[in-house]
């Protein structure tokens, strides 16, 4: 489902609430990527970024509520962030702003709510609370290694300082309660094990809340792989339901070891997802047999439907449908094959997959080039213009690890040759014939 039922004056400020190390920035970052992925213009306004302009690496004492200078500077940073956010709305530059900060007192939240209301902007408060010490420790480890506040500092010193910062915030922290029942809010307790929703009134807020309540902040990775080289790949044909080539079968046999080399956590629960097409099922079968991981087939992971062009080479498409070939080069994301799909259509059918991915822990997805591009674009915040042209080589395993401030990426290439199926924008449609000796 897409956000296609928005009124012209829809404006929402998503206000993050919570103590440090409760996953607020992770949730904010994911929400921003999701909104961009489905075509909703959005931006994060991080109060810490404004505060760092004057105090780039403050010690914990800066956050002590009894420190008047620290309190003044933190209030000024919040005011600057809200001012810039409201200006951004006035200029018509977006629909959803995410105010990322602790926003830890009722007075601060009331000020934000009133400032937004006076500007014609709705507020959606998102509070993340957690008393699970293991999760908090993991988040502290994440922050001390990735936050700009601790860049270049000794990790253990950073961890001690950050714990002291949390204790300072705890002195004044007020959770959202009955006093604020007129607000629209969602509360995530212990990584979403309990979700409390209040006063959700509009369509966009309900979609955002549905997305947010599927998130968790436990550490995990997602592995992406195209199927092994197929018989159609050797012939330069698109679509179809071809079997693997001999080299594609070799990749299928090598995939379990490639996954082990990528660093699967010991005793991690991993699930294998494939499409319903033969080449992905064949690629994953040795992986499932050797690891014992559960395997699921998803129709939503099937390759982009190329309609009347299914089974053709690019040269044949250019010859039979020259206007279509040119139109696809000009706007590949929105171009829809005759009787088939566009990349935009694929994103729509992948939304339930993304929701399920966010609920899951460790998943390896064996899928197709266009589908993998769309999933990759979601995690790496790649633009709609660039994602359809992304080069995704065969026989390569991509490991993505979501972090609070982005997604780490590693690639592991199997030592098994394969043809290149990538065609750059505006390049020749003619497929380079594969020499006979390479078809073994």
Determine how β-strand 222-226 pairs with β-strand 362-367.
Answer: parallel
Question: Which of left, alpha, beta for 135 (phi over 0: left; psi -120 to 50: alpha)?
Answer: alpha
Is-catalytic flag, 84?
A: no
CB hemisphere CA count around 220 (13 angstroms): 19
Is-catalytic flag, 202?
A: no
Q: What is the DSSP string of 73-100?
A: HHHHHHHHHHHHHHHHHHTT--SEEEEE
How is residue 425 written in tokens?
Answer: 């924008």
Q: Which of 227, 302, 305, 324 is catalytic?
A: 227
- For residue 207, give the 3-state DSSP assignment: helix
**What are the φ/ψ torsions at residue 437 (nearest 5 degrees)?**
-70, -15
For residue 20, give the nearest of 135, 116, 111, 123 by alpha carbon.
135
Q: 223: which strand partners?
A: 364, 399
Q: Which of 100, 305, 341, 358 is catalytic?
A: 100
Residue 278: burial class (beta carbons within 10 Å; 0-12, 13-18, 19+): middle
Q: Which residues of 204-214 are buried (b: 16+ CB within 10 A; e: fewer)?
A: bbebbbebbbb
C-alpha dist (Å) from residue 420 to 195, 279, 417, 424: 46, 16, 10, 11
Q: Which of 142, 161, 303, 341 is catalytic?
A: 303
Is-catalytic flag, 395?
A: no
Query: Are 378 and 33 in contact, with CB atoms under 8 Å apart?
Result: yes
Residues annotated catalytic, as ranges: 100, 227, 303
């Amino acid at each position: 489902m897409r956000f296609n039922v928005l009124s012209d004056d829809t404006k929402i400020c998503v206000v993050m609430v919570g103590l440090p190390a409760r996953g607020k920035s992770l949730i904010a970052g994911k929400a921003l990527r999701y909104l961009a992925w489905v075509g909703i213009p959005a931006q994060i306004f991080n109060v810490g970024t404004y505060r760092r302009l004057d105090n780039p690496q403050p010690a914990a004492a800066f956050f002590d509520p009894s420190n008047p200078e620290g309190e003044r500077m933190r209030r000024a940073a919040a005011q600057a962030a809200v001012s810039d956010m409201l200006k951004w709305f006035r200029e018509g530059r977006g629909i959803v702003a995410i105010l990322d900060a602790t926003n830890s007192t009722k007075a601060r939240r009331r000020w934000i709510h009133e400032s937004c209301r006076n500007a014609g902007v709705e507020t959606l408060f998102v509070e993340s609370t957690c008393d699970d010490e293991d999760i908090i420790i993991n988040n502290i480890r994440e922050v001390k290694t990735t936050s700009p506040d601790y860049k270049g500092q000794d990790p253990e010193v950073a961890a001690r300082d950050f714990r002291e910062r949390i204790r300072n915030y705890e002195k004044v922290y007020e959770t959202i309660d009955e006093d604020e029942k007129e607000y629209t809010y969602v509360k995530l307790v212990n990584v979403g094990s309990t979700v409390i929703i209040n006063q959700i009134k509009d369509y966009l807020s309900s979609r955002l809340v549905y997305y947010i309540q599927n998130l968790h902040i436990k550490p995990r990775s997602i592995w992406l792989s195209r199927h092994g080289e197929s018989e159609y790949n050797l012939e330069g044909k698109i679509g179809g339901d071809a079997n693997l080539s001999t080299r594609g079968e070799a990749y299928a046999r090598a995939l379990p070891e490639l996954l082990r080399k990528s660093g699967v956590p010991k005793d991690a629960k991993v699930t294998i997802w494939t499409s319903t097409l033969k080449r992905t099922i064949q690629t994953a079968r040795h992986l499932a047999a050797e690891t014992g991981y559960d395997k699921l087939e998803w129709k939503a992971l099937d390759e982009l439907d190329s309609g009347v062009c299914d089974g053709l080479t690019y040269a044949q498409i250019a010859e039979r449908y020259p206007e279509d070939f040119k139109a696809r080069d000009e706007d590949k994301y929105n171009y829809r094959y005759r009787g088939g799909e566009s990349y935009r259509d694929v994103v729509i059918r992948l939304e339930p997959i993304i929701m399920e991915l966010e609920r899951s822990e460790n998943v390896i997805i064996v899928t197709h080039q266009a589908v993998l591009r769309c999933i990759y674009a979601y995690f790496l915040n790649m633009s709609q213009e660039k994602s359809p042209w992304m080069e995704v080589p065969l026989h390569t395993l991509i490991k993505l690890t979501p972090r609070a401030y982005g997604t780490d990426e590693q690639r592991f290439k199997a030592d098994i040759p394969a043809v290149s199926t990538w065609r750059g924008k505006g390049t020749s449609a003619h497929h380079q014939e594969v020499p006979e000796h390479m078809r073994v």
